[in-house]
Amino acid sequence: MTPQDPAAEQVAAQFGSPGLNAASVLAATVEKEKARKDTDLELIESLESTILRADAPDSVWEQTVAAIKKLALSRAKSRMENS
Amino acid sequence: MTIKLQAITVQGFRAYLAPQSFDLRPGKSLAIFAPNAKGKSSLVDAIEVFFSETGSLVRLGAKKSDTKAGPEALEHVLAEKKKIVPSIGLVFRNPPAAEYGEERQIKRPPAARPKIATDILKGCKHDFVVRGHELRSFVETQTPEERYTEVSKWFGLTPLVTAQKNLRTLRKKVTEMADDDKVLVARSADISKATVGGVTSLEEADIIKWINDVLLAALDKTIALGSLKRDDPGYLSIVEKKRIEDDALGLTALDELLTALRTVVDEKDGAVVGRARDFRAAITTLESAQESETNERAAAEKSIFAKIWLEAQDVLSNGALTLEQCPVCETPFGETPHGSRRAVSASVGQHLALLAAYRESVETLRKARAAAEHAHVQLKAAIGSLERLLKAGKYQTELAGLESYFIAVEAWKPADAPVDDTSVLPLLQGLRDKASGSAEAIRERQGEATFAGAIVKLNELRRIADSICEGKLERDELRKISEALECTVQRIDRDIAGHVASLLDGLRDEINRIYAKIQGGAAVKVGLESPDPEAKGKLKLGLVIDFADNRKGVNPAGYLSDSQVHTIALSLRLAAIKLFNPSFPFVVLDDVVTSYDSDHRKALAAAMAEEFAGFQFVLVTHDERFFRYLKEHMLAGEWLFRQITEMENEFGPRYMDHKIADEVIDTKLSKGESAANEIRQAEEEWLLAKAREFGISLRIRDVDKPYAYDRGEVATGIASFLKGLKIDTPILPGFSNPLWTSLQAGEVENFGSHFQDNPNATGSAGDEQKRWTEFKQFRELFKCKCGSARFKRPKVGVTKPLCHKCETPFAFQDPNGAA
């Protein structure tokens, strides 16, 4: 099978965009997750801007942990206010 | 059509100092042979760096600048000294389009990836640089987790795997945070301290019990708290008791008076503050603003025609307009007091600037007046309260001293001078201190068992209890987030695992085809097991084989040889390149046959030719037999074969077809420098050329011999050839050149004296000069009588080589003449 073979082209098409485009796959996976009824949407949106990004910077951990703590704290405060 | 690499140029990069080029037109493959440490992998590095996003090598890392093992390692160590800009140039062609190329310089910080590289990589899903050492680590040392990461990298799935790993790590971190009880331990200590050891738990019920049994029981046993809330009936009862208590003691009135006094005048950080001071400061600002406005108004008095001037300035400063007279009054510029258009324009500009300053001062004055009026209203309100409290209390004397100030403040208007408070402020401060002292004295007499004290303690305990509650709820929320993450991780894992599985399924057949081609015979069936999406542990990639009917899906390491497992990894990479890089059929192989025997090397060459027709290879190897096999079997027009003979730090890799000119050696020797390496190469070049011209077949050496030809071997071949033709090598008196001796004796030259196999070993300068002189002399003996130094293979019916020019059969020149 050479690169010009129909079989190769078929495989290439199968695994071409977006099959091997990791960023697209990741984005689609996140969207799918967000669309679920039982998903913690706030959590996923928070992660979407931090660790669930294909181009996440090195400083992503600091942001992620801070975002999770903030989320937990705001929920705790809200529960206190409503109790 | 597909893209083909046309040329590579490298300079100042890794082993390459001087510029060197490889012309691969119209798309030839390139094979380079060299022993280790001769710079052969530098060309592979150049290709990797050219396409790298970070402008570095994966194995060096991009962030090691502090250890000089990062981008610095890419530059040739002498590049800066020799003023050579380290760079890599690649030229491509995608027929029928014309050639296009770009250069990537090695810089710090790294230069951006060339556009052409980015464009090519868009259609290139799989890393086309295959390094032998990576394959070995893939099969020999990597754990299934590491293998999953590695394969994900090959497939361009790294962002997905990173996301997976990040989610897992985050879940772990969140669980740790939820289990972290540092905050609650600290609050527990606070509770214990506040209750003098009475409460050590974090339960609100225990705190309330202590308040009722200990704190309130001492004051009033009929009062008890049901909760710590501010609207708890028990708490409201305590507040009421405190008010009654304060009233009875006069504390309420004192506290009110103190508050009123502190509003008018107080001290903070050593400075006097309060509304009296605010009022005074606002008036001072107002006075300053008034003065400024007056001055600016005077300056701008003459600038009342602002609008006209503004328009005139636009016209005057427009160089495109020809004006001879003032556009406002139509006076010729020469007749105005300013005398010219430019001077008129400058004057107008000055007036406009004055108007702008005036406008600003007016705005400042407006703000200052508003601030002063506000401060006045505030002070009047505070004084009103204070006056009422002083009248209600027994402070008639103090009130008399303040009345004139109160009246002056009440009557003040923005145009008035500031109200003099110099004598009043000390009076107010004295009154404040007196009231404060009285309140303190009453509280001291009361002792700790008061409702006021109980409220203070209750507030402290409530703050701690709130903090405990918040901490507990936060932990609870973190646990919920951890559980939500667990579900998300599993779902995303399942998605990604499905994707990886589809990739692996597509690859499996191709891997097995290539594997069977290289391994031959009854090759086992290779399988790659996708990570189990239900597994909560680490992400693993199983590499398995069906070894026998009763040994299916087993680990290859337990059943296959090293070379077989190596072939699995190589097959996987080659299959992925073949399938995923259709627009750029290009493979770089860096030393991938190390663990192969002769048959496997041949099988790999055959697989390259048969399975990868249309592909372009750049291959480097230190295996001479593999190199020679390729040279013999690959189509000459489709491959370029290069052999590195030496590695010179001040030049770079020297290739076999790189000729050493006599002048280079003569110059070095005349400078007193060692030219041993150059002499060695010149000898080899000359001997090989002569062997080729004579059509000499060299005996293939045993496989356990060293990798390379040596000149002695070639010389022996020439000697045997001459003996066969009954051509005696003449005896030259006093001539001790080892090569000549080798020709005479028909034996391999002994290099043990001063021209050792170590290329860095040298003889003395005298030895080198003597050998070079003798070599040039005996070279002359091989010339034809007509003066030509070139011969060609004998024709049919002729046994001796013929002069390329006059076709005279070869014979040695007269040694006496040569000498």
Contacts of A7 in chain B (CB under 8 A): none
Q: Which residues contact B661 (CB under 8 A, 6 or more apart)?
A: none
A20 within domain boundaries: yes
Q: Cα separation of B420 and B407, whole Å?
A: 12
A32 within domain boundaries: yes
Q: Count up the domains in chain A and report the number.
A: 1
- Closest-CA distance of chain B to residue A63, Å: 12
**Considering only the top CATH level, what class is B1-124+581-656?**
alpha beta
Tell me whether A66 touches chain B (CB under 8 Å): no
- Closest-CA distance of chain A to residue B189, Å: 22
Q: Which residues contact B693 (CB under 8 A, 6 or more apart)?
A: B790, B791, B792, B793, B801, B804
Inter-chain touch A20–B580, beta carbons under 8 Å: yes
A12 within domain boundaries: yes
Q: Report yes or no: B754 and B772 within 8 Å, Cβ to Cβ.
A: no
What is the DSSP-derived secondary structure letter of residue B72? G
Q: In this predicted model, what pLDDT tens digit does every residue of B214-253 receive, in sequence order?
A: 888 888 888 899 999 889 999 999 999 888 877 777 777 8
- Closest-CA distance of chain B to residue A26, Å: 6
Inter-chain touch B492–A22, beta carbons under 8 Å: no
A77 within domain boundaries: yes
pLDDT at residue B138, as a whole number: 67
- Closest-CA distance of chain B to residue A62, Å: 11
Query: Which of B159, B170, B466 faces A54 most closely, judged by CB atoms?
Result: B159
Instruction: Give yes or no for a cis peptide into B26 (omega within 30° of 0).
Output: yes
Tell me whether A13 touches chain B (CB under 8 Å): no
Quick one: which of B47, B88, B76, B35 has its CA closest to B644?
A: B35
**CA torsion angle for B7, B13, B14, B16 (degrees, to 10)?**
60
pLDDT at residue B252, as a whole number: 79
Q: Which residues contact B289 (CB under 8 A, 6 or more apart)?
A: B361, B364, B365, B367, B368, B369
The identity of residue A54, as a single letter, is A
- The residues of chain B scoring below 70 in pLDDT are 1, 61-71, 136-140, 153-156, 301-308, 310, 448, 521-522, 528, 530-539, 541-543, 657-661, 698-712, 746-765, 798, 815-819
CA B417 to chain centre: 66
Inter-chain touch B487–A52, beta carbons under 8 Å: no
Which residue(s) pair with B641 in the sheet?
B31
Inter-chain touch A80–B491, beta carbons under 8 Å: no
pLDDT at residue B323, as a whole number: 78
pLDDT at residue A14, as a whole number: 40
pLDDT at residue B660, as a whole number: 65
Assigned token pair, B318: 């427009």
The identity of residue B614, as a single letter, is G
Q: Cα separation of B148 and B572, whole Å?
A: 13
Quick one: which of B688, B693, B694 has its CA closest to B656?
A: B688
Tell me if the pTM is above 0.90. Answer: no
What's the domain range around A16? 6-82
Inter-chain touch B159–A26, beta carbons under 8 Å: yes
* Residue B467 Cα distances to A70, A82, B473, angstroms: 16, 16, 10
Inter-chain touch A26–B488, beta carbons under 8 Å: no
A35 within domain boundaries: yes
Assigned token pair, B310: 């503004």
Q: Cα separation of B442 and B250, whole Å?
A: 9
Contacts of B481 in chain A (CB under 8 A): 40, 43, 68, 71-72
Q: Cα separation of B485 and B165, whole Å?
A: 12
Cβ neighbourhood burial of A37 (10 Å; 0-12, 13-18, 19+): exposed
Inter-chain touch A4–B2, beta carbons under 8 Å: yes
Inter-chain touch A25–B174, beta carbons under 8 Å: no
pLDDT at residue B271, as a whole number: 87
pLDDT at residue B32, as a whole number: 95
pLDDT at residue B50, as a whole number: 95
Q: Cα separation of B297 and B309, whole Å?
A: 18
Q: In this predicted model, what pLDDT tens digit does every residue of B521-568 receive, in sequence order?
A: 667 777 767 666 555 556 676 667 888 888 887 877 778 887 888 888
Inter-chain touch B474–A11, beta carbons under 8 Å: no
Q: Cα separation of B372 and A70, whole Å?
A: 44
Instruction: Nearest chain A residue to B155 by CA: give it.
Output: A20
Q: Report yes or no: A72 and B477 within 8 Å, Cβ to Cβ.
A: yes
pLDDT at residue B337, as a whole number: 85
Cβ neighbourhood burial of B759 (10 Å; 0-12, 13-18, 19+): middle
Query: Which of B155, B167, B583 faces A20 most closely, judged by CB atoms?
Result: B155
Task: Give the DSSP letter string of B375-442.
Answer: HHHHHHHHHHHHHHHHHHTT-HHHHHHHHHHHHHHHH--TTSPPPP-TTHHHHHHHHHHHHHHHHHHH
Q: Report yes or no: B70 and B664 within 8 Å, Cβ to Cβ.
A: no
Backbone angles phi, psi at B521, to 5 degrees: 55, -145
pLDDT at residue B475, as a whole number: 92
Disruptive mutation site among B157, B173, B488, B492 for chain A (greatest number of A CBs within 10 Å): B488
Tokens 């206010």, residue located: A81
Q: Cα separation of B428 and B71, whole Å?
A: 73
Q: Cα separation of B299 and B294, whole Å?
A: 9
Residue A9 pLDDT class (50, 70, 90 cuts): very low
A45 within domain boundaries: yes
Contacts of A82 in chain B (CB under 8 A): none
* Residue B210 Cα distances to B187, B216, B222, B236, B260, angstroms: 16, 9, 15, 18, 37
- Closest-CA distance of chain A to residue B585, Å: 7
Task: Give the DSSP letter string of B487-508.
Answer: HHHHHHHHHHHHHHHHHHHHHH
Domain range summary for chain B, segments of one domain joined by +: 1-124+581-656, 183-254+449-476, 259-445, 659-782
Contacts of A16 in chain B (CB under 8 A): 125
Assigned token pair, B746: 């028909």
- Closest-CA distance of chain A to residue B156, Å: 7
* Residue B147 Cα distances to A19, B241, B425, B759, angstroms: 21, 74, 81, 41
Inter-chain touch A29–B492, beta carbons under 8 Å: yes
Query: Which of B2, B470, B487 faces A3 most closely, judged by CB atoms?
Result: B2
Disruptive mutation site among A68, A69, A78, A81 for chain B (greatest number of B CBs within 10 Å): A68
Tokens 């007499």, residue located: B445
Q: Cα separation of B32 and B198, whole Å?
A: 84
Q: Cα separation of B749 and B747, whole Å?
A: 6
Assigned token pair, B351: 């007036």
Contacts of B495 in chain A (CB under 8 A): 25, 29, 32
- Closest-CA distance of chain A to residue B126, Å: 9
Inter-chain touch B477–A75, beta carbons under 8 Å: yes
ipTM above 0.85, yes or no: no
Assigned token pair, B684: 């080899």
Instruction: Nearest chain A residue to B491 by CA: give it.
Output: A33
Inter-chain touch A26–B125, beta carbons under 8 Å: no
Tell how strand B586-590 and strand B129-131 pair up.
Answer: parallel
Contacts of A51 in chain B (CB under 8 A): 163, 166-167, 170
- Closest-CA distance of chain A to residue B14, Å: 29
- Closest-CA distance of chain B to residue A68, Å: 8
Please tell me whether residue B179 adopts helix, strand or coil conformation: helix
A1 within domain boundaries: no
